[in-house]
Every structure is written in C-alpha cells, then in structure tokens.
Amino acid sequence: MFKYALKQIAAGIVTVFFIATATFTAMHAVPGDPLSKGKAIAPEVRKNLEAKYGLDQPVTKQYTMFLTNMVKGDFGISFTQANRSVNDIIREHFPISAILGLFAIAVAAAGGILWGSLTALYRNKWPDKLIMLAVIFGVSVPSFVVAALMQLGVTALNKHFGLQLFAVAGWGGLTHAVLPAVALGLSTMSFLTRLMRSSMLEVVNADYIRTAKAKGVSSTGIFFSHQLRNAILPVITVLGPAIAAITTGGFVVESVFAIPGLGRYFVQAVQQLDYTVIMGLTVFYGAYLVAMVILVDIVYGLIDPRIKVGKASG
Amino acid sequence: MKTDALTRSDFVPATRTGSAHQISRPSLSYWQDAWVRLKNNRQALASLFIVGALFLFTVLGPYIWTQSPARQSLAEISQPPTLGLRALVVDGAQTIAPKAVLSASLETLAAPHTRGVALQWKPIEGAQGYALYRNEVEPSERLDFGLPLAELKGAAQLTYQDRLNLEPKTYFYTVVPVSQGEEIGSRAVTLEVDVQLALQENEAQSYVAEAKIGEEIRLPAHPFGTDYLGRDMLARIIAGARVSLSIGFFAPIIYIFLGVLIGGLAGYLGGRVDMVLMRLTDLVIALPFLLFMILFRIAFGVGPGESGIIPMVVALVALSWTSSARLVRGQILQLRESEYVQAARLLGAKTGYLLLRHLVPNTIGVILVYLTFAIPSTIFTEAFLSFIGMGVVPPTPSWGSLSDDGIKTFLTYPHEFIVPAVFISITVLAFNLLGDGLRDALDPKMRGRE
Amino acid sequence: MTHLTGKNRLFGVFATCFGSIFLVSGCTTEPPKPDTVTIAMLAEPPDLNATKATDSESFFILGHVMEGLTRAGSDGKPSPAVAESWEITDAGATFTLRSNAQWSDGKPVTAHDFVYAWRTVVDPKNASEYAFILFPIKNAEKIVSKKAPVDSLGVLALDARTLKVTFEKPCGYFLSLTSFATYFPVREDFHQLHGERYGAEANTLLYNGPFRLTQWVHGASLKLEKNPTYWNASIVKLNAIQIPYITPDLSAQLNLYKDGKIDLVSLGKNTLKTAMQERFKMKKYSDGTVFYLEFNFAEGRITRNKNLRKSIQYVLDGEEFVGRVISIPGTLVGTSVIPTWIAGKNGLFREDYPIQSVKPNLALAKHHLAEAMKELGLKTPPTLVWLTGDSPGASKEAEYFQNLLSSKLGITLKIDKQIFKQRLAKMSAGEFDVVSAGWGPDYNDPMTFADLKTSWNENNRGRWKNAQYDELIRKAQSTTKNTVRMDSMAAAEKILLEELPILPLYERSVIYTQSDWLANVGRRAVGFDPDLTTATTRDETAKN
C-alpha cells in the first residue's frame, strides 16, 4: 500500500512538471503583451518593467527560473496587481473555490446517493421515472443556464415575499453558497444518480442479498447494511473526476454569481494576460487535481477489500 | 387419435420438411440486431428522430428559412417573436415645424413613430430650462419619470425630438421644469404616446420594392424574435447550429480517430511503444481541460475575419483524444488475448486480416457509443467557451455565443437567451438518450449498467 | 379603506413617506443604517499605491482616502485641499500647505511628503505608468528615461509647509493636475517600511483623506470609514462606505440593487427596461469619455487614403448609431475628439469654438469611395481589418459597421476581436486598418484630448503625423496664456477634423439610480467617480 502510494505520488510529480512545461510553452506562444495598459507606456518605463518581471531574459532562462521558483513554491508577482504575489492570490481565493466546490460535491453526492437509491427502490414506478427525467434535464442543461435561471427566480422570490432567503450574488455566509453550489453540483448529481441507480440494481440481485433475506434480515437492514454499502463503491471511484469537473466548472458559476473564487480570478487573469497568475494558477490547479485523483485512488483501496492496490500488478 | 397396431406406413422415413432445421427467425447480423434493439427503445428512437430533425434543420434550414442571419433591421431590435409586424413607411429627412398654438400643455408634433417622436410643450411658469423623460410605465407619485432623455438649457426651447431606440409601444413622456438647477417634479407634464413601427423609404423598399411614403407594409415574420441588431433569431439559430453542430460533430470524430490510432497502436504493438504512448496519455489526461482550452485559444490567437472554429477544434483534438485511446487500447488488449483471436492466429491469419476481421468490428460498437456521448459534451464545451468569450468570434454565431449575447439582455428580452439555451439543451439531451440507447443496443452485456 | 394587498400596501406606505419628507420626519419603517452607503465595484483595485495606480477603481478608493494639494469639485475646478494657497507663474508654482493637514497616524502632511512621492513616481526603478502626468515638472521626462538623476526633479520643500515646483516649460493646466492621484503625497518612512507591500493591504497605507480604508478582503470586499484626523472632517457626513460586492456584471449589480443590497448602481443598456418597470428614478451624467474610430497611417495601409476615410464618415448616420446601437440616453453624437463638456476660455470650449456636425450623405460617400478606388487602383471596394475589444458593446458596434459598410458601400470588414491586452498589443504594433477606441480625460483641460494625435504621443496608435498640427499643440503646451492655448488647440482640432485621422463616434453618458435617501453624490468626468465625500443620507424614508 505504502509503496503504491509512493509510486503514485512520484508519477504525480512528473505530471505536474509536464503541466508546468505545457503551460509555460502555451503562455509564451501567446501573442500580445502583458505589460500594455489602456494608456500607452513610454519605452523607458517599459524597459524598467520588463527588467522587473525578467521578461528581458532569454526564454530558456525564463523557463528554468520559472521551474526553480515553482519548486520553491513561489509563482512570482502578478502583472496586473503588482503588489500581490500569486501565492497570496491562491491563499486568498482558493479557499472560497474550495468551500464552494466542497458544498457542490456534498450536494451532488448526497443528492446522487439519495435519488439513485430511491430510483432503484421504486424501479419502473413513477418516482423512478420522475427522478430519471429530472436527471436527464440535469445533464442536458448547461450550468450557466441553470445559474441564470436560479438567479432570476430567487430575485423574484425575495422580492415577492420580502425575504432574504438566498443571496443573489456575492460571497459571505451560508445563504450565499446555496445557489451556486446547486448550480455547480447539478450535473454531477445527475451523473451520480444514474451511477447509483445502476449499481444498486446490480446489487439487488446479488447472492448475499438473497442470503440475508433468507436469514430474515429486515428490508431496511438489508438496504442500509448491504445494498447501500456495496452500491456506493463505484460512486467513490468517480469522485476524483467529479471533483475535477466541479473545480473547473466553478469558472462560469463564480462569474455569474460574482463569487471571488479562484476560477473567476483565472478568467480575469486570462483576459488581462497576466502571465504569472495564469501560469501559477494552471500549475496549482493541475497539481490539485492530480493530488485529488491520487487521494481518491488510495481511499478507494482502503475501503474496498476486493482491491488490494499494493499487491496489484500495476 | 389412437392407433392400436403399428403399420408399415409407420416405418416410412419422414419426408424432410426442412422446417425443423430451418432457423425460424431471420438471421441477424450484429448491426441488424442492434437496430432491432434500438427500435424497441422508445426513448432512443425518439432521440434518433430529434437528431435527424436537427440534422435536417441544419442542412436544409437556410434553404427553407431564407432570411439572412446577417441582415440587420434596426427598426426591429430585440423584438419578441412575431408573425410579421406592420410598419409605416416614412420620410427620414423630413423636418418638423413647431406649431404656433398648442391645444394641450404637451403634444406630439407629427404622428409618433419609431423613427422619431417630436414633442412640443407650453412654457411652464418659472422654468429656466426643461428636463425630458420617457417611461414605459405611467409615472406615479414617486416622480419616477423613467429614462432621462435630455436637459434643455434656457426657457426658450420648447420642442424636442426623441430618436432613442424607440419601440412600437406606448410611452409616457414627461417634461419637467428646471429652476435654479433643481427639477420641480411636482409641476411636470406627462403625455401618453402610442408609437408606431416605421421604416425609412429606402429601408422599406428593401422589403417591398414599390413601398411609398405613407403606406404600410408587412415585415418578415420572426418566429423566435430578433436579436440586439434586429437580426432574425431563427436564421441566427440555424447559422449557429451549423457552427455548434459541426464543431460538436467533427471535433470528436477527429479526436476519436486519433485516439483509436494511438490506442490501437499501443494495444496491438504492446511493449515499449505501449508504455511510451500510455505515459503520454496519462500526462495529457492530467491537464486541467478547461484551463488548457482557454490557454490554447489565446495562444493560437484568432486573426481578423476568422471565425475561431479552427483553433477550438485543434485545441479539442489536442486535449480530448486520450479517453478514446485508453478505451481502444483496453479493448484491443482484451481481444488480442481472447480465444477466437488466438485461434485465428494459430490458423495462420495475417495481421491485416486479424485487424479487419476481428479487432475493428469488435471495437467499433464501443467507439460508436463513445462518439455519441462525445458529441454532446463537445457541444457543451463549445457553448461554455463561447459563453465566457473564449469561443467563436462575431459575426460567426454559435449557440454558445448566442447564449452569451442573450444573457446580457436576459432580464429585458428573455427570448434572446432562452431560445439558444433550449436548443443546446435539446440537442445535448437527444444525443445523451441516443447514446444510452446505442449502448444498450450495441453491447447487450452493458444493458442496464452505467 | 379596505385592506391593501401586498404590493399596493407597500406602495401606499411609500407614497405616504414620500409626501412627508418635507413635513416631519415621521414614518420610520425600517430605517437604513444611518450614515452608511453600500455600493458594488466593477473590479478590485489592483493596489492602492498612488504612485503607480492607473485604473479607475484605484482612483475611486484613493480619491476617498487620500488627498493632494488640491481637490477637484464636481465641475472639475480645483479647490484648496492640503494646499491652502498657491501662486502659479510661467516658471513654476509655490504651494503653501495648511498646518492642520495630517496623516491618519496624527503626523502632519509636509512638503517633503510631496517631494518624496513625486520623485518616486518618476524614479525609473518604480516604472510608474502614469509618470507622464508629471512631465510638466522640470526634468521629469529626463529622469524617467534615465538621463538625469532622480533628485534633479524640479520640486523642492522650502520648509515643512512650502512646496516649490519648477516647470519644464510654462504649463497652463498644472493646478488641475495636482488633484490627480499620481500627485498624492507619500510619507517616506512609511513607504520605506512596507516596500513592495505599500498600498497592498488596508494596513500598509497611510491616509490623509476624508476616509480611511479599514478593511480589505481581496477579491471580496472593502470598507471605508470616516477619517477623524482629516482636516476638513466636518464636511464628511457618512460614517462608512461599504463595498461588499465586486462584479463587472451590471445585471448582477442590478439584482443586488433590486434586492436592496446596494445603494447605487449604473444601468447598462440592457438593464434600462428593468429599471423602468421597477420604477427606479434614473439620473444621468457624462463620464467624459469620447469614442472614435482610429485609422492606421502605417506605410502601405489603404486607410492612408483620405477619400476612403471621408466615405466612411459620410456613410455613418451618427444619430442612428447612437440611438439604435449605443442607445443610452444622453449619449451625444461625436463631433470631435475634444468633447462638449470640457471648459475653454470662459465657458465651454465647444461654445467658444463651435463646429458643424457632418450629416450622413450616401451619394457623397459613394463619390468619395469611387475617388478612393481610383487613387488606390482598386477594381472592387476594399477590405478593411477592424480591430475591436471583447466587450459585448464592442462586438455589437463592429457588427453594425460591418453590415453598414458592406450593404451601403460594398466595403468588406474583417472583424478582429481580441481580448484587452492582445488588442492593445495589436494597436501598438499597428496591426489594423481601423480600430475602435475611447479616451477618457486625465485632467480638466482640452489638452488631455487635443494632444492625442501628436506624433510624439504613444497613444497615437494610427501613427498619423501632421507637422502643422504638432506645431499648434506644441505652441499651446508652452504657454500659460489661455487665449493662445485655446486658439491653438481649436486650430489643431480643425486640422484633425479635416484630415480625419480619427472619426468621432460618440460621447458617453452613464445612467444610474440610487436609493432615495442618498443625496449629494458627485458624478463627474475628471477625477474619481462617484464622489461620496460629501454624500448625505436621509433616514426619514425607508429604503425601497
């Protein structure tokens, strides 16, 4: 197990370096000038700025500098917010995205497991059909549409009842997180519902369920201690990719709801061509996703007795 | 019937009717079998029809709905769905002379239409100037006069012509006297004005050749309304479908082809090639997808007059081939070791034969299912990128960019957002359901599983 | 009276309140937090280092928490601030600082703080992008280009309260520059203490303005509170300005306003209708920005052809463009690069020097196009590359012109839509035929617009060059005689309008609405906006 984890982590580090290189290459192929501002700058000022950001160095030198600093955990200073380091930006904005993501994952996982179980229990009856219909819509409607509609709906609701049930935009307490988390988690929830349904159905006819029934275990007992437990395993395997999807999905939702998360920051940085921020955030996201996948892998190995990751051939 | 004794006739060999050995149901090939299964799946069949209809809509649409998606009609900006509005033909250059005597405190000078509303008012006592407002709802005691159109300095000017984005509807114009820099709302005068849709003569003649000033003409129908430059939304949706669906269709075909090539090579050749290719796949798969789509988009750049479709397809291909490569490699590995392929090889089958006869036909179903799911997700990606302004470039419309344009006017003109959003949703829905059906049909083992 | 249902009842209460404002302060249904204004910002200020700030968000915050020698009123006229009096000659200026101006830590604001700040601005190490605004000061330009030492800058602290400025050449509008953020004071010890972090956080900045920044959560919120050490604290009625939302999306901002979360909101074209239906009271002001098309004069570009530019001028119906495409009330059809609101000799510059607006004329447009094609040796109407930004308005405008030019003149437009920085890079590199651009004023003088097309101006992206025009601007820049300056600028403007290196499109107007109980918010073109320094709240009426 330990050896397996080490191996995974080593592979992860290689991957992060690859991501860093790809990002660096892409950024340096970008036409345009990160230093330009609305008003033109004098050539002398430009020279001084280039020196400050090391843009006057040859590309290979810039690359090695970037990598060495990255290893040291330093992504440099932002071009547009000259007083802030990329590390500060990540420190300040990532927790917001992470909390939102966590919320969305929680919404998606809880909803997926609940709805999935319900559909399996009421197989081919109306609750099943209704939920599956909703699921299909959940997969087919883009998150920006969901976000826009919810925003409109809640504004109308707040106005009509004179209440402040949910905040329409911004970031603060729990009321701010509910709508974006639902918008963000909806498609993952739909996906998980389908997954949960089919894995429940598979388990329903398993021998051990029949044995349990024969032994006279109550149906709720069977449901909780056998069906649910076994059916939930596949859901855990897809959590890794789901976290990835939700993390990057945050871009649009954060923009629509004006949430000061890292995703919105990234989109703004791209529009501002803020080299250091773009590179720093891409590498950070890449590393984060790689770490998540490894983590899910290991957790899965710990939970599922059928898989002995350490002894597997890989 | 009962017989007591055996007779000779009992020992006559039965005539071969053939029916016993004949296969009672027609022999079905893999594809025929799949088709039968698909036909029995109502959902999938319905989605197949929708996909077919979308295909026809996209290909034949421009020939049936002949309005140009580029034609701007500034008289009809952001109009909700209509079956053809009636418009008055007017003289654009006409100057309107003020009246000598006014019967009311605020009047229109000529018939008010969308090319201009001319107002004249009686002097209000103590006014040192006037402020003009226009509203779509009747002003209340709150003195909510609406849009501040203009401030006229000095008490001398008593006329004003409004040409600001007039729509064919009822407006409330208010003239507020200004004294010592303060607007005296309590002494304001309000007039209700019904504004008629109007076109200038030359504009009108582009619809009806012999249109003359003073006549009324009927404008083309806009079943989905018009956009922010008065362009027909249906024509824009058709044009957008061509972009969105061709990206959604061709990008997956290209990257799945690439993936099949790489995965097939890795799986078939094995050994070092396999290791290198799969290592590469692992690396590419680890790239944060959306971030890199955006990075590639700005790295490629989109030149003047370009649509931005090519960079997007290239980026999609560069980032998305990995899953299909893994899938195909897995299939090939499995098949290579399967008994019948081993047997064929022992019987002396050549590589080409093995590939064509066994490996390709047995993976194509999986690939087809994968493609069906790849199309909606690509359509989503396109919509997503265009929505954050990283997709196609105007004037090229795509459903994503139409939604992006639409959401800005969502509060005021919801149709501009809802129409493309519905099209995206229906298309994605249809492909998803079709994918489910195809998977069930092509791979019976997978039935009922995710 | 029978029972009123939901909405009507609300309205009823409201009407009563409104009626009673002028009588007594009764009717206190849920009063707003007294003396606090809540607003949303379009973006976060990158930092609050006044020596480096370049964007309107930074200027907005800095304008409230800091103060320069003078302070611009809503009309743009400078009034005494840290300086209580001054004397300006052709050679330079002398400012006398008031004794009670102090920093938020209680120490007095001295002349040395200005000397230090201005030297920091021009110091090449600092690479300040707004350094050019100090160029009227002696040696500033040389210092920036490393041709002179930093301490040779023409500014001296004669004593703690006397600041002496030497000009490079006579400067008629120097006083209006001194209210600009780049001219704000910086205290040496504090700046040295925080180094790169100066102005990056709420506690790494010293304040001498009407407010203090007391909270800054990056990307999320800011809070300004009344500065008790401000010398003129009695004019400040607000206790706090809350900025809990940062979003560039005007629809989101409108939602917040509808929800009663913010007190002031600008209305885009797409939110005007909602505002009418919600019965908001709308106001407008000019933010001073002028928009225009800039033609490329680089060698080999067909836009060098004057007839081609003329044909585009005559085909454009400014009224239709402003009414239908821009469609913000109060937007003026552009007539020149010098806007109508800016002051001239006595009254407005435009009143002193009126110009004839050009009426659209399709026949003339076609005539000029035919001439242009003859001169250029073209058989078919040309194709032009139209560089534009990625804002929704920019796309709309480009699509409008694309349709206009192709349907009326047969000219093909290739739209080149680029994100902000890439557009700027292409503008600087001259990779365009036509670029749509805008220009906002830095100071309250026609010169901030008039020198835009001089051959030495880096912002002259089209690289148009006209010796006579350059000469006239130089003449205006080297005198303090107002008449000579204005006359020269008007003459230069005439050349500009005749030669048409740029085609004026419109002067922007901004529509906004604010809570009924909020008053005296300054909206203006030059300097920071909105100005909440002297804003007042009335707590008699309920918030809508």
- State mean pLDDT over C465-485: 90
Q: How many domains does one find in chain B? A: 2
User: Chains with 3 or more CB pairs closer than 8 angstroms to A?
Assistant: B, C
Spatial CA neighbour of A119 closest among A234, A111, B446: A111
Q: What percentage of residues in chain C have a pLDDT greater than 90?
A: 47
Query: Which residues have C-beta within 8 Å of that of residue C280, sequence separation ≥ 6?
Result: B144, C267, C513
User: Chains with 3 or more CB pairs closer than 8 angstroms to C?
Assistant: A, B
pLDDT of residue A294: 82
Q: Where are the alpha helices (DSSP H) in B270-359?
A: 271-286, 289-300, 309-336, 339-346, 351-353
pLDDT of residue A41: 64
Q: Tell me which residues of chain B have a pLDDT lower than 70.
A: 1-3, 16-28, 93-94, 443-450
Same domain, C303 and C195: no
Strand-by-strand arrangement of the C264-267 sheet: C264-267, C510-514, C282-285
Last residue of a domain, one of C200, C224, C250: C200
Same domain, A190 and A281: no
Same domain, B144 and B254: no
C79 touches chain B (CB under 8 A): no
A56 touches chain C (CB under 8 A): no
| pLDDT(C60) > 90 | yes
Same domain, A14 and A110: no
Read off the DSSP letter of residue A78: -
State the angle between helix axes of B360-387 and B415-442 in degrees (0 to 180), rounded to the nearest 10.
Answer: 170
Q: What percentage of residues in chain C have a pLDDT greater than 70?
A: 92
Same domain, A17 and A153: no
Residue B211 lies in a domain: no
pLDDT of residue C321: 92
Best interface-test mutation with B: which of C249, C408, C417 has the largest number of B CBs within 10 A? C417
Which chain A residues touch B278 with a CB distance below 8 Å?
Answer: none
Give yes or no for a contact between C224 and C213, defined as CB atoms under 8 angstroms apart.
yes
What digits encode the pLDDT tens for the residues C491-525?
A: 999 999 999 999 999 999 999 999 888 888 888 88
Q: How many domains does one find in chain C? A: 2
| pLDDT(C26) > 50 | no
| pLDDT(A17) > 80 | yes
d(CA A90, CA A262): 7
Same domain, A251 and A279: no
Identify the CATH number of the domain in which residue B183 sits: 2.60.40.10
| pLDDT(A45) > 80 | no
Give yes or no for a contact between B82 and B88, defined as CB atoms under 8 angstroms apart.
no
Last residue of a domain, one of C138, C170, C200: C200
Same domain, B185 and B238: no
Residue C179 lies in a domain: yes
- State mean pLDDT over A247-267: 79
Mean pLDDT taken over chain C:
86
Is the CB of A30 less than 8 angstroms away from the CB of B299? yes
- Is the previous residue joined to B69 through a cis bond, with omega within 30 degrees of 0? no
Residue A136 lies in a domain: yes
Same domain, A117 and A62: no
State the angle between helix axes of B42-64 and B233-269 in degrees (0 to 180), rounded to the nearest 10.
Answer: 130
Chain B residue with the nearest C-alpha to that of C433:
B304
Considering only CB atoms, C256 lies closest to which of A39, A49, A169, namely A169
Residue C515 lies in a domain: no
| ipTM (interface predicted TM) | 0.82
Is the CB of B163 less than 8 angstroms away from the CB of C323? yes
C327 touches chain B (CB under 8 A): yes
Is the CB of B77 less than 8 angstroms away from the CB of C324? yes
Same domain, B117 and B196: yes
Same domain, B434 and B323: yes
Mean pLDDT taken over chain A:
78
Same domain, A158 and A173: yes
Q: Which domain holds residue C179?
A: 67-200
Same domain, B257 and B356: yes
B155 burial via Cβ count (<10 Å: 0-12, 13-18, 19+): middle
B432 touches chain A (CB under 8 A): yes
Residue B17 lies in a domain: no
Q: How many domains does one find in chain A? A: 2
Where do the DSSP E strands lie in B169-292? 170-179, 182-183, 189-194, 198-200, 216-218
Got the DSSP string for C63-94? Answer: HHH---SEEE-TTS-EEESSEEEEEE-SSEEE
| pLDDT(C14) > 80 | no
d(CA B443, CA B30): 10
What digits encode the pLDDT tens for the residues A209-254?
A: 778 878 877 777 777 777 777 777 777 777 777 777 777 667 778 8
Best interface-test mutation with A: which of B41, B54, B274, B290 has the largest number of A CBs within 10 A? B290
Same domain, B122 and B270: no
Chain C residue with the nearest C-alpha to that of A42:
C458
C270 touches chain B (CB under 8 A): yes
What digits encode the pLDDT tens for the residues A79-129?
A: 777 667 888 888 888 888 888 888 888 888 888 888 888 888 787 788 888
Identify the CATH number of the domain in which residue C78 sits: 3.90.76.10
Best interface-test mutation with C: which of A45, A49, A264 has the largest number of C CBs within 10 A? A45
Residue C295 lies in a domain: yes
What digits encode the pLDDT tens for the residues C362-409?
A: 999 999 999 999 999 999 999 999 998 877 788 889 999 999 999 999
B302 touches chain A (CB under 8 A): no
Residue A291 lies in a domain: yes
Q: Which domain holds residue A302?
A: 1-30+54-69+273-314
Residue B29 lies in a domain: no
Same domain, B127 and B273: no
Shortest Cα distance, chain B CAs vs residue A92, angstroms = 20
Same domain, B278 and B418: yes
Which is it for strands B129-135 and B159-162: parallel, antiparallel or unpaired? unpaired
Same domain, A211 and A287: no
Same domain, A260 and A291: no
Chain A residue with the nearest C-alpha to that of B294:
A270
Identify the CATH number of the domain in which residue A139 sits: 1.10.3720.10
A32: confidence class by pLDDT, cuts 50, 70, 90? low
Two tokens, residue B101: 């005597």
Which chain B residues touch C323 with a CB distance below 8 Å?
Answer: 163-165
Same domain, B146 and B260: no
pLDDT of residue A152: 77
Residue A46 lies in a domain: no
Same domain, C314 and C443: yes
Same domain, A254 and A228: yes
Same domain, C169 and C295: no
Residue B392 lies in a domain: yes
Instruction: Tell me how far the alpha carbon of residue C125 is from its chain's centroid.
Output: 27
Same domain, B161 and B279: no
Neighbours of B163 (CB within 10 A): 16
What digits encode the pLDDT tens for the residues C140-187?
A: 989 988 889 999 999 999 999 999 999 998 888 899 899 999 999 999
Residue B60 lies in a domain: no
Q: Which domain holds residue B407?
A: 233-446
Last residue of a domain, one of B200, B218, B246: B200
Is the CB of A139 less than 8 angstroms away from the CB of B428? yes
pLDDT of residue C225: 94
Shortest Cα distance, chain A CAs vs residue C260, angstroms = 9
pLDDT of residue B450: 38
- Is the previous residue joined to B395 through a cis bond, with omega within 30 degrees of 0? yes
Which chain A residues touch C122 with a CB distance below 8 Å?
Answer: none
Residue C264 lies in a domain: no
Last residue of a domain, one of C161, C181, C200: C200
Name the strand (E) or helix (H) holding A260.
none
Same domain, B289 and B153: no
B289 phi and psi angles, rounded to 5 deg:
-60, -60
pTM score: 0.84
Identify the CATH number of the domain in which residue B425 sits: 1.10.3720.10
Identify the CATH number of the domain in which residue C373 sits: 3.10.105.10
User: Chains with 3 or more CB pairs closer than 8 angstroms to B?
Assistant: A, C
Considering only CB atoms, C197 lies closest to which of A83, A160, A171, namely A83
What digits encode the pLDDT tens for the residues C313-345?
A: 999 999 889 988 998 998 999 999 999 988 888
Residue C480 lies in a domain: yes
Same domain, A169 and A240: yes
Residue A47 lies in a domain: no
Best interface-test mutation with A: which of B291, B306, B314, B399 has the largest number of A CBs within 10 A? B291
d(CA A219, CA C121): 77
Which chain A residues touch C458 with a CB distance below 8 Å?
Answer: 39-42
Considering only CB atoms, C329 lies closest to which of B148, B298, B394, namely B148
Two tokens, residue A221: 């007992």
Which chain C residues touch B144 with a CB distance below 8 Å?
Answer: 279-281
Residue B261 lies in a domain: yes
Residue C99 lies in a domain: yes
Is the CB of C424 less than 8 angstroms away from the CB of A39? no
| pLDDT(A310) > 50 | no
Same domain, B254 and B159: no
pLDDT of residue B2: 56
